[in-house]
Structure 1
Amino acid sequence: MIDTAVLLQLVKGYFFDVDIVWRKTREEIKKLQNKRLRRIIRYAYSVPVYHKKYKKAGVRPDDIKGIEDIEKLPVITKEDIRENFPDGIVPKNFNISRAEKLSTSGSTGKPVVIYADYSTIIRNIIAYVRILKAYDAKWNKTRITVIGDMAYGTAGYASFVSPLPSFIMKALSIKNLQIIDIGEEPRIMAEKINEFKPDFLNGYPGILRILATLKMEEGIGKDISPQYISSSGAVLDPYTRKYIEEAFNARVFDVYESTEGGPIAFECKKGNYHLHSDMVYLEVLDENMQPVAEGEVGKAVITRLYGKGTPIIRYAGMDDFIRKGDSKCSCGMNTECIGSIEGRRADAIITPDGKLVPPLSFTYIPSEVMNEENFYGIKQFQIVQEDERRIVILVVPKGGEEKDKLERIYEKIKAKYEEKFGKDILIEIKEVDKIPTHGNLMPPVVISKVKKNEIT
């Protein structure tokens, strides 16, 4: 049952919180962050897993005055959440019947399960409305298609099809939103989207690429022509971005979010990644859990500044690489910016000396070479690290391309990767007819079969 208090939160969020990033100055947003951090720390102290860790570290809620004190708090890992699930990740008297149980995909191991209350779901909705506004779209008028994992227990389910958003859509008679589950057969999906004709299309980069291929090669979905496309749920590499943009003749922008951390950042029209600074605080730390310098790449450690259920404070379990940066942006939003999302730790190449090279620092190379040569003969590629000294680049060429031009492309790509990874790693390029998919999910651009602790 959705009560009056929940509806009031939604109304307040829509009229006051959506516009905060434009309405308040950076200094005012920082004060809001401090206030919300103090409140969430007080709440977390009643949650067993946090209480134990804080007590062991000798930290009490009154010791945290604001963001400048956050380093006094111990980090929380995936193992902490898993080992204390279910009773240890929420307060003793928390009513789980008024919350959604959310699970990560478990793509890098055992899934992490947390509880999200209605106020957390409302924040997710507010963040989505904010992103729409940044691109001049209206939640109640713009035709919007959302493709995502809508299975029970996922973040997509909580934000779009669980009882709360379902109630909201019914109460407000929202007819301009099309929701499609990622499990839909791609051709049927393309036909549905083609009929709906959205102005705003949102999906994983993998499924967006599949739809782009269907349109270009088979003419399926030929009338899909949104003004903007948002990509979320996986790293958007430059090659995939360009491929999707050319297929749909639309601007593609990236959204950074996670099951545990919720909405974190998104690209504005100027191309800068703006944090939802009123909702989260993001640290970028090195292997020793110390802040990296601006421009450097480190590990994402996220603090969510809202919600009940399972608090997320200094959570280091996302395993994402972030390039730190805080460029001033002229788009009108006054939040902090990050440099870029460089990819997941699990997808990094590991050099013989144990250095991790994040995906986004090298997946651009095939696209760069094709731009330099003005020859776009590669349809798809995948970078596979077979062992610590060998990388195979699988390439699917477009049909009917000139062989000599393809060979020149391959040579330049190989040379650039040899320069990138050093002489100790052998680079091979191998033509294949196709790169296997897994259901409707595109194969990852990078696969590393090497674990850091295996390097000798």
Structure 2
Amino acid sequence: MNPLLNPILLSKLAWNYFSIMGRIWKLNKDEMKRYQEKMFLKVLRYAYHKTIFYRKKYDAAGVDIEKIRGLEDSKNLPLVSKEELASKSLEEILPRKYRDKMGYKVSTSGSSGKPIILFFPLYESTINSIYGLRILKAYGLNWRKARVSNIGDFSIPGSSDEEIYRDLAEKAMSMKLLGEHQMLSVNESGEILIKRLSEFKPDVIIGYTSVLVNLAFLRKEGLGEDIRPKYIISSGEILDKYSRKLIEDAFDAEVKNLYASTEGAITAFECLEGKMHVNADLIYLETVDEEGNVVEEGKIGNAVITKLLPVGVPIIRYSGLADMVSLSDEDCECGINTPIIKSLEGRKRESIILPDRRVIPPASAPLPLIESLEKFNVTNLERFQFYQEKMDRVEIRLKFRGETREKEKLLKDIEEGYRKLFGKGIRVEVKEVGKIENPSGSPLPPTVISRVRLE
């Protein structure tokens, strides 16, 4: 039997749907903050009283949760690292009442360390899916009619795409509760993906940036001319200016950015005005420095998330995303009243570390490269990667598609740009390669591979 037919679950879903869908427009900033305060305290008490891990952690740190009265006091709670969460069994992090409930056992990719095994009850998973539908609403689409192609980690056992998205989408479609959703594997060749997309004719395409770039080149080469999405959503990798324009030009569609993870669900999405809005009614996002102190608005810090759902495995002050971001409380003309991510820089462990202790994160590393590409009007760079073996040596690897005009001048210009950025004493080598290295075990190669660690 389809569990979504359960009348109790359906009634809960209906209530959550009407509560969630309009909340980020309906609540003003003060009202949203009060909502976050209320949900944060619920999650904190739920985690302390219902899980072995959080109770032991807070007791060991001398935290009296009754003295935590709101978000301002959250800084008194210790951070939870990815390594710490990965070392715990489900019995330690999941409340006992969920151990026999229907749900999904999934794992994180492990690309930034040891994977974490998590359990998402069916109820929590359906709530998370509503936040995905809300993005379609923000783009002016009818989620019950929109045709969505998702190129993700399908066919990979244990991934949230394969275990949760596929199952829920198929069940919802069978009940006519959802528009048609096509699930494509990131491991398929570009030619096969183009063929499947042409057959499906999606309104929205979701995928990794590098996969979308590959499809853009195939589109420019004459394949998939009948693929005409209204929006293309990039997720899972840094969306740089060059890649965004390349994809937009190839498909004549707006490209939007999405910040999501297994642990944090849909943390933020880009609105029609080009601002990256935090799903503040689902995620409380902080930015902290290396000592765990909250940084001021506008400054780049390490992302720390708390999931505002007292369901399943609690996620409280979790630093394991390892992303560097900056936040702003500015207003947006789109009408969404939530904090904005001004800068999404990527993972610090995937950054270039210089001798003067400067850190060049994955989102900032391509900037001189993009300047050179624009200067020489080059649009056939398929993939790039920065490889740092030592602190004073950086190799820039470029994979072109087809012939490149004035290639030698271009490579020299790129080299000069990075010499200016890195400063004296850094050896910079720019070279063309036939293949980009992927040593991390993730489905796609990282933008930066650095063997250097900032002590």
Same fold by TM-score greater than 0.5: yes
Q: Distance in 1 between matches of 2:208 and 2:91?
A: 33
Q: Which amino acid aligns with 2:450?
A: S
Q: Distance in 2 between matches of 1:174 and 1:308?
A: 24
Q: Distance in 2 between matches of 1:161 and 1:251?
A: 25
Which position in structure 2 is the counterpart of 1:450? 452
Which position in structure 2 is the counterpart of 1:242? 245
Contact 1:266 1:273 in 2 (8 A): yes
Which position in structure 1 is the counterpart of 2:420? 419
Q: Distance in 2 between matches of 1:87 and 1:377?
A: 51
Which position in structure 2 is the counterpart of 1:261? 264
Say whether residues 1:290 and 2:293 are aligned partners: yes
Unaligned runs of 5+ residues in structure 2 are none
State the secondary structure of the residue aligned to 2:328. coil
Say whether residues 1:62 and 2:66 are aligned partners: yes
Residues 96-147 of structure 1: per-residue CA shift (max 9 Å, x gap): 4422112011112221111212232123211111111111111111221111
Say whether residues 1:203 and 2:207 are aligned partners: yes
Which position in structure 2 is the counterpart of 1:22? 25
Written as runs of structure 1 = structure 2, the 5 A alignment for 1:127-206 is 127-150=131-154, 151-162=156-167, 164-172=168-176, 174-206=178-210
Say whether residues 1:325 and 2:328 are aligned partners: yes
Change (3 A) 1:4 1:58: farther
Q: Distance in 1 between matches of 2:109 and 2:429?
A: 32
Match of 1:362 among 347, 362, 365: 365
Residues 334-353 of structure 1: per-residue CA shift (max 9 Å, x gap): 11112121011231011124
Q: Distance in 1 between matches of 2:199 and 2:386?
A: 36
Q: Distance in 1 between matches of 2:355 and 2:377?
A: 34
Q: Which amino acid aligns with 1:417?
A: Y
Residues 244-292 of structure 1: per-residue CA shift (max 9 Å, x gap): 1122121111100111111100111111110000111011111011122
Residues 187-220 of structure 1: per-residue CA shift (max 9 Å, x gap): 2221010111111111111221221222223x33
Say whether residues 1:87 and 2:88 are aligned partners: no
Contact 1:205 1:236 in 2 (8 A): yes
Change (3 A) 1:90 1:126: same
Match of 2:8 among 5, 8, 17: 5
Q: Distance in 2 between matches of 1:366 and 1:76?
A: 36
Identity score, percent: 39
Q: Distance in 1 between matches of 2:61 and 2:267?
A: 27
Q: Which amino acid aligns with 2:345?
A: E
Contact 2:47 2:314 in 1 (8 A): yes
Residues 147-197 of structure 1: per-residue CA shift (max 9 Å, x gap): 1113342221344223x4433221226452212222333322210101111
Q: Distance in 1 between matches of 2:212 and 2:310?
A: 31
Q: CA RMSD in A?
A: 2.1
State the secondary structure of the residue aligned to 1:201. strand
Instruction: Out of 440-449 and 72-81, give the one that drifted further.
Output: 440-449
Which position in structure 1 is the counterpart of 2:39? 36
Deviation at 1:377? 5.8
Change (3 A) 1:56 1:199: same
Q: Distance in 2 between matches of 1:169 and 1:307?
A: 28
State the secondary structure of the residue aligned to 1:370. helix
Q: Distance in 1 between matches of 2:187 and 2:288?
A: 36
Q: Distance in 2 between matches of 1:90 and 1:61?
A: 19
State the secondary structure of the residue aligned to 2:425. coil
Written as runs of structure 1 = structure 2, the 5 A alignment for 1:107-122 is 107-122=111-126
Contact 2:287 2:300 in 1 (8 A): yes
Matched positions, count = 449
Contact 2:102 2:122 in 1 (8 A): yes
Q: Which amino acid aligns with 1:169?
A: M
Which position in structure 2 is the counterpart of 1:408? 409
Q: Which amino acid aligns with 1:452?
A: L
Which position in structure 1 is the counterpart of 2:345? 342
Written as runs of structure 1 = structure 2, the 5 A alignment for 1:303-322 is 303-322=306-325
Q: Distance in 1 between matches of 2:51 and 2:225?
A: 52
Instruction: Out of 33-42 and 51-60, give the one that drifted further.
Output: 51-60
Contact 1:89 1:310 in 2 (8 A): yes
Deviation at 1:71? 0.7
Superposition TM-score, scaled by structure 2 size: 0.93
Q: Which amino acid aligns with 1:156?
A: D
Q: Which amino acid aligns with 1:17?
A: I
Instruction: Out of 373-382 and 254-263, give the one that drifted further.
Output: 373-382
Contact 1:206 1:441 in 2 (8 A): no
Q: Distance in 2 between matches of 1:385 and 1:81?
A: 29
Q: Distance in 1 between matches of 2:130 and 2:298?
A: 30
Say whether residues 1:429 and 2:433 are aligned partners: no
Q: Which amino acid aligns with 1:430?
A: K
Match of 2:397 among 394, 398, 415: 394
State the secondary structure of the residue aligned to 2:87. helix
Q: Which amino acid aligns with 1:422?
A: G
Contact 2:198 2:226 in 1 (8 A): yes
Q: Distance in 2 between matches of 1:390 and 1:363?
A: 16
Which position in structure 2 is the counterpart of 1:74? 78
Deviation at 1:384? 1.3
Contact 2:327 2:339 in 1 (8 A): no
